[in-house]
Amino acid sequence: MQDAVTFDPRPADEAASAAPSTSSADAPDAQAKREFNKLQKRLRRQAGNAIIDFGMIREGDKVMVCLSGGKDSYTMLEILRSLQRSAPVNFSLVAVNLDQKQPGFPEHVLPEYLDGIGVDYHILERDTYSVVKEKTPEGKTTCALCSRLRRGSLYGYAEEIGATKIALGHHREDILETLFLNMFFGGSLKSMPPKLLSDDGKNMVIRPLAYCREADIAEFSRRMEFPIIPCNLCGSQPNLQRQVVKDMLADWEVKHPGRLESMFKAVTNVAPSQLADRELFDFAGLEDQQAKRQADRIDLHQES
């Protein structure tokens, strides 16, 4: 049995030292700095809790942090680095970016950033862009094939470098959006789990930002001034249905504050006997259960 991990937030003053560097001339006012520290502590606490709740990181793990250049993956890397400094177990981080050879991809951005912060990294070059363009019929969305190829490349590379965990930057809203998309279009009640064993059993995927709000991540990313790489370089239409669901959730959150929190809680609090999946619950065996309970009750009655 390996050690459990405790990822307590550092004291506020230490967290503050990781705030974006500012010269005295453009230093944010004290209030803004306090807000930033609170935001950073919240993200650390939520990621730490998710890591503990799902047993995501253990002693000696080599965590491959998938870095796309978007706000979520930058934030995940920063929060994991911060947690790594105070965690009672040792684990290593290696950032991996998949350069999919999209036209206009700014190759220098991530290496410059990662060299600057002193994180080990690899840039994996795979021309999935050409494959996707070649195989996808005109007018069809390219994202499904692109994602499959990306996942295959990253899983294979994780094995090559001996990574024991693959960290992805999905957050609470990604999980809820996927839940609704699967209900609306897939006829299944499933989403993105915080921890997942790949189908072939070779890779373990973790989502340390599973409890984090997208708005917090966006604000953190803005304050940290991460060098964001736009995600529309492929020229593909974004997934329109995902955008519809995203807008629906955002609208609910405005009109009914707390609804997303409650829905996310529901994902962690499933009652199979109150649904209708015969694989998950033995409805056919309810009579047997009933007979057993009645027999138990009679025994109890006779003993007393």
| Interaction site with ligand SF4 (CB under 6 A) | 142-143, 146-147, 231, 234, 236
Q: How far is the CB of 258 from ligand SF4 (least distance, A)?
A: 31
Question: Of 122 and 151, which has the nearer Cβ to ligand SF4?
Answer: 151
| Phi, psi torsion values for 167, nearest 5 degrees | -95, 125
Q: How far is the CB of 142 from ligand SF4 (least distance, A)?
A: 4
Question: Of 143 and 189, which has the nearer Cβ to ligand SF4?
Answer: 143
The residue type found at 266 is A
Q: How far is the CB of 236 from ligand SF4 (least distance, A)?
A: 4
Question: Of 143 and 183, which has the nearer Cβ to ligand SF4?
Answer: 143
Question: Of 81 and 151, which has the nearer Cβ to ligand SF4?
Answer: 151
Q: How far is the CB of 53 from ligand SF4 (least distance, A)?
A: 29
Residues 6+ apart with CB under 8 A from 188: 182
Question: Of 234 and 267, which has the nearer Cβ to ligand SF4?
Answer: 234
Q: How far is the CB of 32 from ligand SF4 (least distance, A)?
A: 33
Question: Of 233 and 250, which has the nearer Cβ to ligand SF4?
Answer: 233
Q: How far is the CB of 150 from ligand SF4 (least distance, A)?
A: 7
Q: Strand, helix or coil at 277?
A: coil
Q: Which residue is nearest to ligand SF4 (CB)?
A: 146
